[in-house]
Amino acid sequence: MKNKTKNFFWVASILAMVSPVVAFGALDWGIGLDSSGNWTAGVGSEGSGAGSFGSNGGFALPGSFGLPSGSILGIIQNLLFWLLTIFGLAGIIGFVISGIMYLVAAGDSGLIDRAKEGMKYSIIGIIVGLSGFIVLQAINAWLAGSKTF
């Protein structure tokens, strides 16, 4: 059994190393002449990070580098939104697991107590996380001079 597991992990690791080579085999690297006769260099077609040599022999990058065009505040707000979503899902999953533990306890007082504590801590965690989010929104509204948040 140990040998089969070892062989499985060897095959899985080799496939993990080879699969990017197969996936990038059909990629248009964007090196060569484009439709207008200019030399291009870089990954992808023009406008997706590929540079062009042009007719004067100099190398020029296009204006788009694939970076977000939003402000720092927008990026931080998106990050906080995703973190809050992950935090909420973790709290719900913890509560569901505690509920399953409570249902499966079948009279075991130790497991029932652990399930109740898990439910209590999941609820406390969600309340603390959401109150932190509300405090951040209130401070943002206060600093921005808004009347509501």
> Cα separation of 105 and 116, whole Å?
11
In this prediction, residue 42 carries a pLDDT of 57
Cβ–Cβ < 8 Å for 78, 92: no
Residue 60 lies inside a defined structural domain of this protein: no
Query: If residue 33 lies in a helix (H) or strand (E), which one and from where to where?
Result: strand 32-33
Which ranges of the chain would DSSP assign to H, the alpha helix? 2-23, 72-104, 109-144
Same-domain check for residues 80 and 40: no
Cβ–Cβ < 8 Å for 60, 54: yes
The size of the chain, in residues, is: 149
Q: Examine the pLDDT at 90 and tell me if it is beyond 60.
A: yes
Residue 116 lies inside a defined structural domain of this protein: yes
Q: Is the pTM of this model over 0.75?
A: no
In this prediction, residue 62 carries a pLDDT of 55
- Neighbouring-strand partners of residue 40: 32, 52
Same-domain check for residues 32 and 77: no
Identify the domain containing residue 14 by its residue range.
Answer: 2-52
The token pair at 100 is 């399953």
- What is residue 60's DSSP assignment? B
Number of domains within the chain: 2
The residue among 57 and 76 whose pLDDT is bigger is: 76
Same-domain check for residues 34 and 81: no
Same-domain check for residues 91 and 126: yes
- Neighbouring-strand partners of residue 46: 50
User: Could you tell me which of 92, 91, 94, 99 has the C-alpha nearest to residue 116?
Assistant: 99
